[in-house]
């Protein structure tokens, strides 16, 4: 199984939606809490790699970055992760 890394805000309802989906399906993942400041270096890197400036963003072990909770869940369902 590929390593999954979820960039998030702890209290974000969209991030919670992705975490709940992963937990319900018994999928292992790690979380990284990010700053709310979009000028933060990590936030800028996430935006460049994923193409979105919001969270959640899921980094998949093969180098893919997916942003937006709906897109993340759709990808997970399609790939039966």
pLDDT at 71: 97
Q: Report domain extents, the chain.
A: 4-78
Task: Look at residue 29 and give its three-state secondary structure.
Answer: coil
Distance of alpha carbon 28 from alpha carbon 56, whole angstroms: 16
Average pLDDT, whole number, for the chain? 94
Global pTM?
0.92
pLDDT at 80: 78
Q: Which CATH architecture has domain 4-78?
A: 3-Layer(aba) Sandwich (3.40)
51 contact partners, CB below 8 Å, separation of at least 6: 65, 67
**Confidence band, pLDDT 50/70/90 cuts, at residue 1:** low
Average of per-residue pLDDT across 58-76: 95
């Amino acid at each position: 199984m590929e390593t999954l890394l979820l960039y998030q805000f702890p209290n974000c309802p969209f991030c919670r939606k992705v975490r709940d989906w992963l937990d319900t399906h018994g999928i292992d993942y790690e979380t990284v809490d990010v700053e709310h400041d979009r000028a933060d270096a990590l936030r800028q890197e996430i935006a460049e790699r994923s193409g979105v400036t919001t969270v959640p963003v899921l980094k998949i072990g093969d180098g893919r970055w997916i942003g937006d909770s709906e897109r993340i869940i759709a990808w997970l369902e399609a790939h039966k992760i």
